[in-house]
Structure 1
Amino acid sequence: MEKQRLFNIEEFDIKLNTEFLATNFVYCNEIDSTNDFLMNNDDYNRHGTVLLAEFQTNGKGRKRRQWSSTRGQNLTFSILLNKNLKGDRINHYNFGAALALGNAIENLFQLPVEMKWPNDILIKGKKVAGILCESASQGDKITKLIIGIGVNVNQPHFPGKYNLEPTSIRIEFKKEVSREKLLSEFFNIFESVIERIEKAPETILNDWRAKCRMIGEKVRIITDEGEQFGKFEDVDENGYLMLRKGDKIEKIHYGDITLRR
């Protein structure tokens, strides 16, 4: 068993260059869920607050699936945003976070990254990271957005069976990498992405489209209502998948997507 290397906050802080994102940085060794903690704890409500945990006992992905991560080898964290939030731009934050993380990985390790709808980041077709956005609202107003992110950084192997084969940056880069440098690079990029979401959200969608190889392909989508088949035509202005079935277009809000062979 590999020795756990604790996150070095000083090394992270030296590389961080943001105005508000992660300037309030909370670190813990173990917690049930970083998303749940920030959503339900009013003591941590500063815009841009980040909670990073070495291990989550109840880490979760989309559709309440459990997110499993080896202690001290990966990055599992959540971001709290509560300013300038608009209900029709939640998916922009999801896509924007994916793009920022993809850019950070490409900048530091020269590994080509692609996007998988709705919230996965892939390297060579294998999942290296996932994102889960959850929001709270009062009436029509979004009061809080929590962006939970899990990144497979230095985990050397992934026992078990998966719907989408996982990988890690260490596996693809062929050496152990600095979690601290990756996380600070991500926040430095994501802060500027957030500004773009507020001022020019269409640019986020365009950049995401350019990284999604599935657009234009025949796909299978599994939702709570069952299976659907068609062509991944595009994403609309809100980030929903547009599925072409013959001469009709159906809008898909969520689901598990795979290529049809």
Structure 2
Amino acid sequence: MGFQLAPTAAAEGFRLEAHDTVSSTNIIALERAREGDQGKLWIVSKRQESGRGRRGRVWVTPEGNLAATLLLIVGRDLKTAATLGFVAGLALADALNAVVPNARIAIAPDGASGECSNRFELKWPNDVLADGAKLSGILLESSMLDNERAALAIGIGVNVVAYPQDVPYPATSLKALGATCDAETLFLALSDAWSDNMRLWNEGRGLDQIRQRWLSRAAGLGGQVAVRVDGNVVRGVFETIDEDCRFVIRDDSGAIQKIAAGDVHFGAVASAGAA
């Protein structure tokens, strides 16, 4: 089966551009916007040669993994548009639950104590974990088109058949988890789940519902965390995400801190120190 949109996505006007190999689905999406594309366009590939992760990191997509980017044309309010990263995480988690059978209780990530009910969890701000290991990364990139409109590329990379070995955090793939799902099947489910969660988001008006759904799948909630912010490390307890989807931590002094951007570490890693 080649890449296909779910009927629900096609009915809502989403379109699909599929490739065998790309440099970067995000790069192509932003190029399409500059060429005049009006958005609601999925760019997908099973191989990506120049993928990017957060903070300029490399994201490797060998043959058989999924690289997918949704291009949307949004208004000037990029702060609200940025919360679509949480929509993307929820959509992917929903898709994974639909295509991976026999989901089971997951051990908390990075050695944290306790268990959780979701095998696929969401790690703030934009990762999806499976049994505590990184399965997917999500990267949002934007580019102003004129005084009123911006292009937003929502990139979603999933380790379907392979995962990186030389990374400083646990990683996994669907194949390593015993799943037989391929990239095409996962994308079909993702395009369907995106439509459901996008309707719930409702141009940002439904953000509180998205936030509550996200928290119900949040990795490390209520546990010890360490967050690296601009070279400094803040340690404490992960309390919630606030109405702006900032990471809320009660630090070791008892003070509440709200973090807009940073790298989060859980459990034993948080206790030992976040490298």
TM interval, short-chain normalised: 0.7 to 0.9
3-state SS of 1:100 partner: helix
Aligned pairs, number = 248
Asked whether the 8 Å contact 2:138–2:155 carries over to 1, the reply is: yes
Tell me the amino acid that sits aligned with residue 165 of structure 1.
P
Matched, 1:181 2:175: no
CA RMSD of aligned residues (A): 2.3
Q: How does 1:243-254 map to 2 (within 5 A)?
A: 243-245=249-251, 246-254=253-261
Of the three residues 2, 7, 30, the one matched with 1:8 is 2
Deviation >3 Å, runs of 4+: 19-23, 83-86, 137-142
Asked whether the 8 Å contact 1:95–1:204 carries over to 2, the reply is: yes
Asked whether the 8 Å contact 2:47–2:66 carries over to 1, the reply is: no
Farther-moved stretch of structure 1 (22-31 vs 186-195):
22-31
Matched, 1:31 2:22: yes
Q: Aligned pair in 2 of structure 1 residues 183, 138: CA closer, same or farther (>3 Å)?
A: closer
Asked whether the 8 Å contact 1:16–1:184 carries over to 2, the reply is: no
3-state SS of 2:216 partner: helix
CA separation in 2, counterparts of 1:138 and 1:27? 24
**Residue in 2 that maps onto 1:146:** 153
Identity of aligned pairs, percent? Answer: 25
Asked whether the 8 Å contact 1:92–1:205 carries over to 2, the reply is: no
Q: How big is each residue's C-alpha offset from its partner over 1:38-97, in whole Å with a ceiling of 9 and x where there is no partner?
A: 2234236232101112322210110010001212x1100211011467433234211111
Distance apart, 1:217 and its partner CA: 1.5
Note the residue ranges of structure 1 that are not aligned, 5 or more in a row.
1-6
**Residue in 2 that maps onto 1:75:** 66
3-state SS of 1:196 partner: helix
3-state SS of 1:25 partner: strand
CA separation in 2, counterparts of 1:46 and 1:138? 11
**Residue in 2 that maps onto 1:46:** 38
Q: How does 1:1-261 map to 2 (within 5 A)?
A: 8-9=2-3, 12-13=4-5, 15-19=6-10, 23-41=14-32, 42-43=34-35, 45-71=37-63, 73-83=64-74, 86-110=77-101, 111=103, 112-137=119-144, 143-155=150-162, 158=163, 160-172=165-177, 174-198=178-202, 199-245=205-251, 246-259=253-266, 260-261=270-271
Q: Aligned pair in 2 of structure 1 residues 161, 135: CA closer, same or farther (>3 Å)?
A: same
